[in-house]
A and B are shown apart, each in its own frame.
Chain A
Amino acid sequence: DVKVTQSSRYLVKRTGEKVFLECVQDMDHENMFWYRQDPGLGLRLIYFSYDVKMKEKGDIPEGYSVSREKKERFSLILESASTNQTSMYLCASSSTRTDVSYGYTFGSGTRLTVV
C-alpha cells in the first residue's frame, strides 16, 4: 500500500519559532506538494517540487520555504511562525508531472497551532 507519511499529526509552536514539517513518500514519485487547508477556503498550494533540489512557489508561499534534498522527502519550513499560520498542513505526491490518472496521494496531515 503506497504511503505519504507526515512526521507529526499535531504540533503546538510559539510565535517566532522556526518550524519544520516533514513528509516522506515511498512510491518513488517525482512530484511532491505542500498544501494548507482552512475552513471555507479549501486546499491552497504553498510550494511544490517536480524533482530533487527543485522547488516552485505555489499560490501562497509567503512565510514558508521548502527543501527537497532526496526524492522521497519534502520538508516545509516556517521561518518565523505566526498565529495566521495555524492550519492543517497536507503533503501530497504524484508519479509524474503529466500523469493525472490517479491524482495525488495525500498524507494524513499535520494540524499546527501557533500560540
Chain B
Amino acid sequence: EDQVTQSPEALRLQEGESSSLNCSYTVSGLRGLFWYRQDPGKGPEFLFTLYSAGEEKEKERLKATLTKKESFLHITAPKPEDSATYLCAVQADDYKLSFGAGTTVTVRA
C-alpha cells in the first residue's frame, strides 16, 4: 500500500527564517510527486510536480526537491502570506493520488 508521511505536523516560523518540510513516501512505481498549498477553508492549490530523483523546481520562495525516498519543500525567507498547509501527494502505477496529512506553516511578522 502506498504511504506518504509528512513532517513536521506544524511549523511556526519568524518572517525571514528559512526552513524545510519533509515528505517521505513508499510507492510502487512513482509516476509523480506533487506539492499543493491549502489555505483555510479552501481546496488545495497545485504547486509542483516532480518526476524523478534529483529533480528540483522553484516558485518564488518555494523550492521542491526529490530523492528516491523523500521530497523536501524549502521555504526561503518566508513571509506571512506563505502561511498555509502544504500537502504532498504521490501518483503510482494505478494513477491514483495518495496524500500525506500535511504540514501547517505559520509565519509570524
Contacts and interface: CB of A to CB of B under 8 A. Distances in A.
Interface of A: 4, 33, 35, 40-45, 48, 58, 90, 92, 97-98, 100-109, 111
A58 B42 CA distance: 22
A106 B44 contact: yes
Given A108-B42, A109-B43, A103 B36 contact: yes
A108 B102 CA distance: 17
B96 to A, nearest CB: 6
A107 B44 CA distance: 8
Contacts of B91: 100
B13 interface: no
A45 B102 CA distance: 16
B109 to A, nearest CB: 26
Contacts, number: 58
Interface of B: 4, 9, 31-32, 34, 36, 41-46, 49, 51, 87, 89, 91, 95-97, 99-102
B49 A106 contact: no
6 contacts: A42-B100, A42-B102, A100-B31, A103-B49, A106-B36, A108-B43
Given A40-B9, A102-B49, 5 more contacts: A40-B101, A41-B101, A103-B36, A104-B46, A111-B41
B87 A105 contact: no
